[in-house]
């Protein structure tokens, strides 16, 4: 028999050799930790569908922020669960609302050791659970919502946020937010546009984490999972309106979209490793069906390999410690 002239296995012979020729890395600085704070909580509240993740008190939030910064995590994405909700999400723009208080507390605690980011959307704050205000007949009013988003962006900037993450998928949201921030003198606050956010079943555990009031769905504003070219249009619109970064959400089911976006743009590209993706791995590992540690790194590496400069993941701190 003949023997192969080319032997790719030579580059896989030892751990040191594999490290030497590895094409993709997951540096801690590329990871962003999504983190929840619950208004009025006396102690952290575990989220049953997301093992290991909690709704924080303000005290535990500050401690978790410091731990993340010390681990080398690149950023924190803050989400808040308010005590009271109403039709227009008043708590989102209240300087004393839980999200703006959390921004101030975390910004004061970590300074510039990591990047303080915040979700910019109304869904956690509305009693109907939609990402915008509603018309009298119950439809999401795109343009009225843009006004609320602009006010919310300014409130977050005044609280000390460095990056806003508008996730509502309203048409024109980046332009409205950029204009509001600039007019208020917050020209240094960046916008991470959730440009390609799909109407995904993998958001399920997140809805529990933020105690969502949503009945129905968000199919009229989040993208159809069947579409990919549509994402490129959304990305182009957001960049034209002044987005500093763009994001694909979810990550694992949309790695093809992530690659297309990375190849098309010259700004940082983020991907959100969402709650359902996290919980699937945790559930399978709890049953002993997969090697949890290897699976986590494989998931994060796949997202980076597909083109993400930044990965939002609930494993951020754990992974950063291991990777360091």
Taking alpha carbons only, the member of 291, 295, 244 closest to residue 273 is: 295
Q: Considering the candidates 130, 162, 178, 249, report the single residue annotated as catalytic.
A: 249
> What are 198's strand-pairing partners?
223
pLDDT of residue 321: 97
pLDDT, residue 132, reads: 92
Closest CA to 310 of 244, 256, 227, 253: 244
- Would residue 249 show up in a list of annotated catalytic residues for this protein? yes
DSSP character at residue 262: H
Q: Which residues of the chain have pLDDT under 70?
A: none
Q: What is the pLDDT of residue 123?
A: 93
What sections of 168-291 are H helices per DSSP?
173-183, 204-209, 229-240, 255-264, 275-286
Compute the distance between CA of residue 318 and CA of residue 324 in angstroms, rounded to an integer.
Answer: 10
Whole-angstrom distance, CA of residue 68 vs CA of residue 35: 11
3-state secondary structure of 159: helix
Q: Is 85 a catalytic residue?
A: no
**pLDDT value, residue 215:** 79
Amino acid 227: pLDDT: 97
pLDDT of res. 304: 98
Q: What's the pLDDT at 315?
A: 98
The catalytically annotated residue of 197, 218, 260, 304 is 197
Residue showing tokens 């962003």: 32
Distance of CA 141 to the CA centre of its chain: 24
- pLDDT for 222 equals 93
Span 62-75, pLDDT tens digits: 999 999 999 999 99
Render pLDDT for 244-264 as a digit per residue (tens, 0 to 9). 999 999 999 999 999 999 999
Beta strands in 82-169 (DSSP E): 115-120, 163-166
Residue 1: what pLDDT? 73
Residue in the structure block whose two tokens are 């009025």:
40
Pairing of strands 54-56, 45-46: antiparallel
Other CB atoms within a 10 A radius of the CB of residue 15 amount to: 8
């Amino acid at each position: 028999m003949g023997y192969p002239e080319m032997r790719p296995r030579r580059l896989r012979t030892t751990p040191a050799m594999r490290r030497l020729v590895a094409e993709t890395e997951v540096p801690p600085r590329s990871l962003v930790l999504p983190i929840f704070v619950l208004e009025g909580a006396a102690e952290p509240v575990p989220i049953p569908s997301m093992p290991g993740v909690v709704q924080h008190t303000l005290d535990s939030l500050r401690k978790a922020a410091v731990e993340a910064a010390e681990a080398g995590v690149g950023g924190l994405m803050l989400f808040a669960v308010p005590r009271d909700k109403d039709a227009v999400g008043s708590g989102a723009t209240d300087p004393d609302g839980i999200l703006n208080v959390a921004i101030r507390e975390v910004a004061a605690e970590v300074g510039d050791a990591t990047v303080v980011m915040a979700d910019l959307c109304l869904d956690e704050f509305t009693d109907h659970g939609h990402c915008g205000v509603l018309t009298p007949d119950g439809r999401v009013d795109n343009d009225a919502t843009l006004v609320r988003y602009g006010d919310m962006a300014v409130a977050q900037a005044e609280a000390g946020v460095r990056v806003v993450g508008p996730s509502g998928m309203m048409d024109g949201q980046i332009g409205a937010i950029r204009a509001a921030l600039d007019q208020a003198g917050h020209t240094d606050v960046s916008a991470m546009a959730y440009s390609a956010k799909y109407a995904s079943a993998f958001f399920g555990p997140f809805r529990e984490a933020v105690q969502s009031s949503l009945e129905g769905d968000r199919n009229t504003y989040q993208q159809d999972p069947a579409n990919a070219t549509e994402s490129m249009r959304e990305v182009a619109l957001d960049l034209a309106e002044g987005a500093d970064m763009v994001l694909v959400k979810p990550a694992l089911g949309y790695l093809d979209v992530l690659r297309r976006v990375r190849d098309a743009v010259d700004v940082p590209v983020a991907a959100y490793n969402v709650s359902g993706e996290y919980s699937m791995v945790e559930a399978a590992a709890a049953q002993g069906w997969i090697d949890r540690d290897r699976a986590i790194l494989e998931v994060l590496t796949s997202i980076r390999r597909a083109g993400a400069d930044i990965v939002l993941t609930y494993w951020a701190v754990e992974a950063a410690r291991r990777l360091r």
